[in-house]
Each structure stands twice: as structure tokens, then as C-alpha cells.
Amino acid sequence: MSPTSREPVHTPRTAREIAGAVRAAQLSAVDVMQSHLSHIAAINDSINAVTAIFADRSLAAAREIDEAVSAGLDPGPLAGVPFTVKENIDLTWSATTNGWRGAVDYVAPDDAVIVSRMRAAGAVPIGRGNMSDFGMRWDTDNELFGRTLNPWDFSRTAGGSSGGDAVAVATGMSVLGLGNDFGGSLRIPAHAAGVCAIRPSFGRVPRSAVRGAPVAMTLQQFSVNGPIARNIADLELAFQVLLGSDPRDGISVDADAVDLDGAPRRVGVVKGTATWDVEPGVSASINKAVDALIVSGWDVVEIELPRLEEAATLWRRLACTDMLFTFDPADLSVPLGDAATAFMRDSTAAARPYETTRDYAGAWAQRVVVAAEWRQLQQDTPLILGPVLASGIPAVDFDLGGQSQAAEAWRSLWLTLAANFLGLPAIAVPTGLDAASLPTGVQVIGPMNGDELALRAARDIETECVWPGVPR
């Protein structure tokens, strides 16, 4: 794979196509798995997206699926579909390392419920996706596995922290990826790789089992698990498989979805504010999505989001306050990597973490004020369209370099972080390639439990925009 190669290769089969053919005995799950394993062997060394490869186990699971089909059984809606699992999601086939040297020997006693649900639907784990140490960066690099490269341009970030899964999906090494999103960690790498991802509404997709350990408030409220796919139809299929509460996750819910037929077909467009600039190339991508929505019958209006900067600032200060408590060097058996340490140092210093419990509690109390104003807006304008990043796809290590660099990275992500702060569903959807042959895209943010409504709009954007294809 060359950093200057841009021409798309063949488009791999979608999850729906693979599962349909396997269930109909038109395609062998073993052949599907072997094809993807061969593709991993051919290209993974050049981009370092997959950290562990489950050749023997994935082939054995595929054989079981073929045997079930031969016996007249239905293996499920994702029969034979290969998927990767991020290094911080429990999977008993390998250690849950979190991209950290201190956890190389930790193998969970059971699978995370989202892994169990994928497997129950017939999907097969093919490997692990790379990430930054504990997912703390907006790039994918660590001292355990190394850097994941962006296959479109090696000098650009692959995004983070679910970068390995996004690149694996983009290059056809897997069909679906499982990651999570605390501050854009699904949408940013999907955007950088030219694929799709959904950050579900708060609680609709369960997380890993708590196992009796306390969980920081920001992780409880801001972080969610979700899928990555090459198209919205596959994304929606995986999302439906993952939905539903789990007793091991105390904040997961069985929520009623927003009424698709009763909700206004109105989308509010955000291209920047008086203090938040969106680059011209990003604005052009938003305009392309606007045109697609109008063609599909949506009412599109320009809006100013209430308290956008405040939402992003509160997310940042709360996240950095918890980060300092959670990753106290005195409590870690093995230090974080140098890059993660620098990111934590510079980000927390620039964010001004809360020093008193009164201020920390006050920030959480203010969240309700921000949420109320967004909820009022989304009564009449349910969907919000805007950038994932206010800039184009940045260079590697764009989130490092000191406090000013950390602050610049954060400012580019205001809209992305606001969705996490408020627990709203948000979908990254590609819109094509720019003049430099790099992926472009937007995100669609829905109201609480409006995931399906946001998926409908994302599908309409995808229909009218040319998918960037699979990078060499």
C-alpha cells in the first residue's frame, strides 16, 4: 500500500449481501472468512489497523455457521459477516489491552454483551482494532502496538480512538467494526477513513460489564459503544442487533424510538459561529449534504445552536477532571505511553480542571440547562447537520504539541463533543473526496432516542453523494 495510491479497488460485499448469501447457502461463511483473512495478511502490515488476528477461531466459527445452514437453521441476520473488536471491548479470544502495556495479560471472563449480540446474530470476530492508550487521544497510536495509518494519506491522522476498526472497515479487512465514542472516538476515525459510524443515544446500546468497579461520571454519561460500517444500511443493521438494555450495565435502557412518521422532516444546518470557524472545504461538504437532503424532501434551515461553546467547554473540563483522577500515575502499575502522557498533561492544563467538588457538581448541574435548550430546539428541528471536524483531516499527532495545540484540536470538535455532552445520537456519513483525494463527510445529530430518524437522513445523504470507495 502506497501513501500516494488513491484509486479505489473492488468494492467488497456488504454485510447484508454476505449474510443473505450465506443464509441462502449461495456463499460459504468459511470462504468469506478466508478471503478477509487473506486480505488482512496482504495489507495490514502496511497500515497496522488490526492488532490481533483470529484465523483459527474465526474459521472454526465460520464452519459452524455453514453447518447450521446445511442443517436448515438460520444463523442470524449477520451470518458469516467478519467484524473487528476494539482493544477496550471485552472479547474472550484475546486480552482487553486498552492499547496499554499494563493490560497485555488481562483476558475478560466473558464477552461484552455487544460482542455476544453480534455473535448471536451470526457475525464472526476476525481481529482486534487498534486504539490509543485508554482511548485518550483523537489519534490512534500507542507504545504497545504502534500507530495506525490513514490509508488515504499516511501523513494524515487515522482519527481516534477507534482508528483501527475504522481503517479495517475502510480497507475491506473487516465488514463491520465495534468501537466506542467518549469524545468523537467513533465519528472522527470513520470520517478520516471515509466510512460510517453511529454514536447511539445514551443507554440504548449497553457497554461492558462493570464487574463491581466504580466508573467515572464522564464515562457513565458521555461514552457509548457503537458500530462502524461502509454504508448506512449495514450500519443500521448492526445498530439494530446491538440495541437493548443489559442487566450488567446499570444505565442501559429500553427506550422508545422517536416516531419516524410524526417527527418534523426538518434539519438545522450549522456551519460555524462567531467564535467557531469552519474551513471552506468543510463548508462545501456540508453544502453537498444539504443539497442531498433537499432532493430527498427534507426542509433544511440554517440555525444557531444554543450554548454550543459552553457544551464543548463543560465536556472538556469535566472529562479532564475525571482523567486526572482515573489515570493518576501513582495508581498505574505501568506508565502510560509518552504520547498519551503528553496529551493528558497538555489537555488537562489547557482545560482548567475543576479543583473543588462545588465547581464539579455545578458543571453537572449546568448540563441540564444546556440540554433543555437543545431539546426545545429539536422539538421543531429534530436533526442537526454539521461537521465532524471544523477543519479538513489533520496531520498525524494533531492533538499533540503543547497546550495551544490541544486547545486547537478541541475547538475543531465543538459540535462533535456537544453530542457526547448531551448524550445525543450522532452519525458520521461520508460525502465523497476533496481536491486532495481525501474523504469528506458530515455528521447528523438527532434528538434523544432519535437514532433511527438520524439514520434516515444519513441514508438520504449517502444516496445522493458518491461514496469515496476503498483506498489501496
161 is catalytic: yes
185 is catalytic: yes
Backbone angles phi, psi at 330, to 5 degrees: -65, -20
Residue 225 has pLDDT above 90, yes or no: yes
The predicted model gives 242-266 an average pLDDT of: 95
Provide the sign of the torsion angle of the four alpha carbons 305, 310, 312, 318, taken in this order: negative
The predicted model gives 271-286 an average pLDDT of: 90
86 is catalytic: yes
pLDDT by residue (tens digit) across 7-41?
333 346 899 999 999 999 999 999 999 999 999 99
In 3D space, the residue among 145, 182, 171 whose CA is nearest the CA of residue 162 turns out to be 182
Round the average pLDDT of the chain to a whole number and report it.
95
What angle, rounded to 10 degrees, do the helices at 403-411 and 338-351 form? Answer: 80
Q: What angle do CA 207, 211, 214 make, to 5 degrees?
A: 85
In 3D space, the residue among 119, 107, 105, 131 whose CA is nearest the CA of residue 49 turns out to be 131
> Is the distance from CB of 96 to CB of 106 less than 8 angstroms?
yes
Residue 190 has pLDDT above 50, yes or no: yes
- Please identify which of the residues 94, 132, 162, 185 carries the catalytic annotation: 185
What is the spatial distance between Cα 76 and Cα 79, in angstroms, rounded to a whole number? 5
pLDDT by residue (tens digit) across 347-359?
999 999 999 999 9
Residue 3 has pLDDT above 70, yes or no: no
What per-residue confidence (pLDDT) applies to 447?
98
What per-residue confidence (pLDDT) applies to 6?
36
What per-residue confidence (pLDDT) applies to 329?
84
What per-residue confidence (pLDDT) applies to 328?
87
The predicted model gives 52-79 an average pLDDT of: 98
Domains in the chain, CATH or no CATH each: 15-464 (3.90.1300.10)
> Is the distance from CB of 393 to CB of 191 less than 8 angstroms?
yes
> Is the distance from CB of 179 to CB of 86 less than 8 angstroms?
yes
What per-residue confidence (pLDDT) applies to 213?
80
Residue 147 has pLDDT above 80, yes or no: yes
331 pLDDT band, cuts 50/70/90, is confident
What per-residue confidence (pLDDT) applies to 5?
38
Share of the chain above pLDDT 70, in %: 97
What per-residue confidence (pLDDT) applies to 272?
82
**Model pTM?**
0.96
- Please identify which of the residues 28, 58, 94, 161 carries the catalytic annotation: 161
What per-residue confidence (pLDDT) applies to 8?
36
Residue 1 has pLDDT above 50, yes or no: no
pLDDT by residue (tens digit) across 383-406?
999 999 999 999 999 999 999 999
Q: Which three cell numbers, joined as nine digits, stand for 237? A: 443493521
Task: Encode 224-260: b = buried (16+ Cβ within 10 Å), e = exposed.
Answer: bbbbbbbbbbbbbbbbbbbbebbeebeebeebebbee
- Of residues 165 and 273, which shows the higher confidence score? 165
